Amino acid sequence: MTVQEYLDKHMLSRKIEDAVNAAVKSKSPDPVLFISNHMRKSVPSVITKIQARQILDSRGIPTVEVDLFTNKGMFRSSCPGGDPVGMYEASELRDGDKGVYLGNSVKRAVRNINEKISEALIGMDPTLQTQIDQAMIDLDKTEKKSELGANAILAVSIAACKAGAAEKQVPLYRHIAELAGRTDLTLPVPAFTVLSGGKHAGNNLALQDIMILPIGAIRFEEALQMGSETYHHLKAVITEKYGQYGCNFGEDGGFAPNISSFTEGLDLVKEAIHRTGYSERIKIAIDVAASNFCIGTKYDLDFKSPNKSGQNFKSGEDMIDMYKELCSDYPIVSIEDPFDKEDWEHVKYLSALGVCQVVGDDLLMSNPKRIERAIRESACNTFLLKVNQIGTVTEAIEVVKLAKDAQWGVITSHRCGETEDTFIADLSVGLCTGQIKAGAPCRGERLAKYNQLLRIEEELGDKAAYVGEDWRSL
Distance between CA atoms of 91 and 391, rounded to whole angstroms? 9
> Is residue 267 helix, strand or coil?
helix
Q: Do 397 and 431 contact (CB within 8 A), yes or no?
A: yes
Q: Is 412 exposed, middle or buried (0-12, 13-18, 19+ CB in 10 A)?
A: buried
72, 283, 386, 404: the active-site residue = 386
Q: What is the CB-side half-sphere exposure of residue 267 using CA atoms within 13 A? A: 9
Give 131-162 as a DSSP string. HHHHHHHHHH-STT-TTT-HHHHHHHHHHHHH
Name the β-bridge partners of 190: 436
Q: Which of 209, 252, 300, 421 is catalytic?
A: 252
E strands along 208-282, which residues? Answer: 209-213
287 is catalytic: no
Phi first, then psi: give them for residue 62, nearest 5 degrees.
-60, 145
Catalytic (active site) residue 252 = yes
All residues at 6 or more sequence positions from 19 whose CB lies less than 8 Å from its CB, including other chains:
34, 35, 38, 39, 42
Q: Encode 134-149: b = buried (16+ Cβ within 10 Å), e = exposed.
A: ebbbebbeeebbeebb
Q: How far apart are CA 178 and CA 187, in angstroms?
A: 16
**CA nearest 44: which of 71, 17, 22?**
71
CB-based contacts of 429, cutoff 8 Å, min separation 6: 173, 176, 177, 185, 186, 187, 188, 453, 456
- Residues marked as catalytic: 252, 386
